[in-house]
Amino acid sequence: MLCETNKELAAFVTKARAYAKDGKVADYIPALGKADPNDLSIAIQYPNGHCVSAGDVKKKFTLQSTSKVISLALAIMDWGAETVFEYVGMEPTGDPFNSIAKLESNVPAKPLNPMINAGALVVTHMIKGRSMEQKFERLLEFVRELANDQSINYCQEVADSEYRTADLNRALCYFLKQHNRMNENVEQLISLYSKQCAIEMNCLQLAQMGTVFAMDGINPVTSKQVIPKDVARICKTFMVTCGMYNASGEFAIKIGIPAKSGVAGSIMGAVPGRFGIGIFGPALDEKGNSIAGLKLLELLSNHYKLSMF
Ligand code: GLN
């Protein structure tokens, strides 16, 4: 077992936290700008219930792009992989997560993968539900089931802040609508997507979700197969190839753990067959990944030989 004690893990956190000063908190969604750049916390959740953690692990953050793995799992469970991948591709991109460039240069226009904004917007629009409220309720219920916590909700302030400033995401939607990749009312979809990104939790809960992916879709707390094995496999593969946006190649080489980041500073990791990881460190590098969080994972991966490659 890696890191038996909180103290052992805390030493890695102290080392990695020094890198936070080289990063910057995201402020293009104004409410995220309030985060403390020096925060860094981590939880490692084993399927047998043992949890090791360090830092202020009760501190809440919003999932942002980390939610893209969850919405993808739900959309595939709703429609099947074949249908979902008619609308979104499976290839990594060398462009930033919110880029519109490849949508225009690829014919037919189809988002390259579900981990970039264009792809995630298509995926979110596919979640089944008779209304936007019902789609969101289903997603939130799913998150609660994965994290084993019925009290999880979304942060209204962050959702409103993103909704007011999401014009680039609106542009992606209008482009996709024009090219028949979605048929949703754009304002309603942006509102749903902003709420999805604003789902709020702490590291302990994030690590629980990571464990479900690590254990091939089985929630070890309930022993229920909450995600079909094949869907969990698809999600983990995207976490490896696209989870860190256009830094995924370097991440695979240096760290080698299926993981997904978000601009509020979260990283959800899933070490196959072993444990889930939840990290929060809001200072980001220039590609939008938690700078100290990445360092922390690199230190742990090197020390405990966690790379799957
Ligand atoms: N809500 C954010 C956005 O769409 C998520 C981006 C991210 O975490 N990379 O811009």
Same domain, 178 and 57: no
Laid out side by side, the sheet with 153-154 consists of 61-62, 199-201, 153-154
> Cα of 144 to ligand 1 centre, how many Å?
21
Same domain, 24 and 99: no
Last residue of some domain: 176, 197, 218?
197
Same domain, 183 and 82: yes
CB 201 within 8 A of CB 210: no
Q: What's the number of domains the chain is made of?
A: 2
Tell me what pLDDT residue 101 has. 86
Same domain, 234 and 185: no
The answer to whether residue 154 sits within a structural domain is yes
The answer to whether residue 309 sits within a structural domain is no
Longest dimension (CA), the chain: 54
Tell me what pLDDT residue 105 has. 87
Same domain, 157 and 263: no
Q: Which of 25, 29, 186 to mutate to test the pocket of ligand 1 (most atoms within 8 A of CB)?
A: 29
Last residue of some domain: 148, 163, 197?
197
Last residue of some domain: 155, 172, 197?
197
Among residues 123, 108, 107, the alpha carbon closest in space to that of 238 is found at 123
Residue 60: CATH number of its domain? 3.40.710.10
State the virtual CA torsion across 117, 118, 123, 124 in degrees, nearest 10: 60
Tell me what pLDDT residue 1 has. 59
Residues 226 and 233: their CA atoms lie apart, in Å, by: 13
Same domain, 244 and 299: yes
> Is 195 known to be catalytic?
no
The answer to whether residue 132 sits within a structural domain is yes
Torsion sign over Cα 227, 232, 234, 236: positive
The HSE-up count of residue 45 (CA atoms within 13 Å, CB side) is: 30
Q: How many helices (H) and strands (E) does the chain have?
A: 13, 10
> Residue 122 belongs to what domain range?
67-197
Same domain, 141 and 59: no
**Ligand 1 closest atom vs CA 245:** 9
- 0.85 surpassed by pTM: yes
What is the 8-class DSSP label of residue 229? H
> Cα of 176 to ligand 1 centre, how many Å?
18
Distances (CA, A) of 269 to 129, 144, 256, 259: 29, 18, 10, 4
The answer to whether residue 115 sits within a structural domain is yes
Which residue among the candidates 65, 67, 99, 301 is catalytic per the annotation? 65
Q: Which of 27, 63, 64 to mutate to test the pocket of ligand 1 (most atoms within 8 A of CB)?
A: 64
> Cα of 224 to ligand 1 centre, how many Å?
30
Per-residue 3-state assignment (H helix, E strand, C coil) for 146-174: HHCCCCCEECHHHHHHHHHHCHHHHHHHH
> Cα of 4 to ligand 1 centre, how many Å?
34
Residues of the chain with pLDDT under 50: none
Ligand 1 within 6 A of CB of 276: no
Same domain, 263 and 252: yes
Residue 161: CATH number of its domain? 1.10.1500.10
Which residue among the candidates 41, 193, 194, 301 is catalytic per the annotation? 193
The answer to whether residue 1 sits within a structural domain is no
Laid out side by side, the sheet with 275-280 consists of 51-54, 41-45, 275-280, 266-271, 259-261
Give the chain's end-to-end CA distance (angstroms, integer): 19
What is the 8-class DSSP label of residue 186? H
Q: What type of residue sits at position 38?
A: N
* CB atoms closer than 10 angstroms to residue 1: 11
Q: Whose CA is nearest to atom 2 of ligand 1?
A: 64
Same domain, 129 and 208: no
